[in-house]
């Protein structure tokens, strides 16, 4: 800060007389070639049992065990009990829930040595989905979200013990 009306920057900026451009560098970046970076992110990271899980449109993907920077191309589990896209992940107890646009499906850690450690829990499936990751919040073991079925109105939901409740 040079004065009350002037700031001088000597790195990461440029000016052309009318505009100033600031260049930023992320503090952290995942560089592993097997980390999926194509398209827009479909949800947030969720941790469980030493893995970092994240969704793409049709899968729950995970990091290598006890790493946030190493990923394997085959470390994913299909979310395929309904034909909708995954838009959010949430964790309740020892279950990762993949919330799609019109359904919810749960997975537990089955401890597989290769690929994804996850195994589908068919009993957690419901035909109620979320609007997106920003509509999902977790409080203790309950998951709250704004969502709907593919056939209904938008409503506020709570998942308690893997059962959706209005």
pLDDT tens digits, residue range 12-70? 677 777 777 777 666 667 888 899 877 656 788 999 999 999 999 999 999 999 999 99
Radius of gyration of the chain, Cα coordinates, nearest whole angstrom: 20
Residue 101's φ and ψ, nearest 5 degrees, are -70, -20
Which among 33, 64, 35, 38 has a CA at the least distance from the CA of 51?
A: 64
Ranking 44-58, 84-98, 141-155 by mean pLDDT, the lowest is 141-155
Phi–psi pair at 162, nearest 5 degrees = 65, 20
- Give yes or no for a contact between 64 and 76, defined as CB atoms under 8 angstroms apart: no
Residue owning tokens 């109105």: 153
Backbone dihedral angles phi then psi of residue 40, each to the nearest 5 degrees: -80, 150
In this prediction the pTM is 0.80
pLDDT, greater one: 125 or 28: 125
To 5 degrees, how large is the angle CA 159–CA 71–CA 77?
40
Mean pLDDT of 138-143: 93
DSSP 65: T
pLDDT band at 9 (very low <50, low <70, confident <90, very high): low
């Amino acid at each position: 800060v040079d004065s009350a009306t002037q700031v001088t920057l000597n790195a990461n900026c440029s000016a052309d007389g009318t505009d100033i451009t600031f260049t930023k560098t992320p503090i952290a970046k995942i560089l592993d070639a097997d980390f999926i970076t194509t398209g827009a992110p479909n949800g947030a990271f969720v941790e469980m049992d030493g893995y970092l899980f994240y969704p793409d449109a049709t899968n729950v993907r995970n990091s290598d065990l006890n790493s946030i920077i190493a990923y394997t191309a085959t470390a994913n589990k299909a979310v395929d009990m309904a034909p909708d896209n995954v838009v959010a992940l949430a964790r309740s107890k020892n279950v990762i829930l993949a919330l799609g646009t019109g359904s919810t499906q749960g997975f537990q850690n089955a401890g597989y040595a290769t690929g994804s450690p996850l195994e589908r829990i068919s009993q957690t499936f419901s035909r109620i989905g979320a609007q997106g990751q920003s509509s999902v919040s977790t409080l203790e073991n309950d998951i709250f979200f704004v969502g709907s079925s593919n056939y209904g109105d938008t409503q506020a939901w709570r998942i308690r013990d893997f059962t959706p409740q209005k």
